[in-house]
């Protein structure tokens, strides 16, 4: 298996532009998580999908952030408009949630820089 795939790996954009981050979870996994990692705040869970349905989006910082999962093999995280404070590494992770002991598999991350 190729693991969790994220694209792009690096994104540099200007303030005000729309940014779309993409994630392909591991085949057969039914739960997907989006995290953000910064030096100041560490790892933060943004949103969690189960069977393609958003279950918990309490970590989404504001309305500029949105996430979708149109099918079991694809998810997007969109920021519109982007701001410099959105600069971070964004990780996608997936798992098969048959219980709390299941390992989450992380993608390599997308490093976003907003100028």
Residue among 79 and 93 whose Cβ is closer to other proteins: 93
Residue among 50 and 52 whose Cβ is closer to other proteins: 50
- Of the candidate residues 72, 76, 78, 108, the single one contacting other proteins (CB under 8 A): 108
Give the list of residues 6+ apart from residue 105 with CB closer than 8 angstroms, or none: 3, 4, 26, 29, 93, 94, 95
* Interface pattern 66-85 for other proteins (x via CB under 8 A): --------------------
Residue 114 forms beta bridges with which residues? 13
Give the separation between CA 98 and CA 96, rounded to whole angstroms.
Answer: 6
Residue 89 forms beta bridges with which residues? 37, 111
- Grouping H, G, I as helix, E, B as strand and the rest as coil, residue 10 is strand
Report how many residues bind other proteins under the rule CB under 8 A.
25
- Of the candidate residues 32, 93, 112, 114, the single one contacting other proteins (CB under 8 A): 93
CA angle 37, 107, 2 (to 5 degrees): 175
Q: Is 56 in the site for other proteins (CB under 8 A)?
A: yes
Binding residues for other proteins, rule: CB under 8 A, are 4, 31, 33, 42-43, 45, 48, 50, 55-56, 91, 93, 97, 99-109, 111
């Amino acid at each position: 298996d190729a693991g969790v795939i994220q694209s792009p790996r690096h994104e540099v954009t200007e303030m005000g532009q729309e940014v779309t981050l993409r994630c392909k979870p591991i085949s057969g996994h039914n739960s997907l998580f989006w995290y953000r990692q910064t030096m100041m705040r560490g790892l933060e869970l943004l949103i969690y999908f189960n069977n393609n349905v958003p279950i918990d989006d309490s970590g989404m910082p504001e309305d500029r952030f949105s996430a979708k999962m149109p099918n079991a093999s694809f998810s997007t995280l969109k920021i519109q408009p982007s701001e410099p404070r959105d600069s971070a590494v964004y990780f996608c992770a997936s798992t098969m949630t048959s219980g709390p002991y299941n390992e989450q598999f992380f993608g390599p991350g997308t490093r976003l820089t907003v100028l």
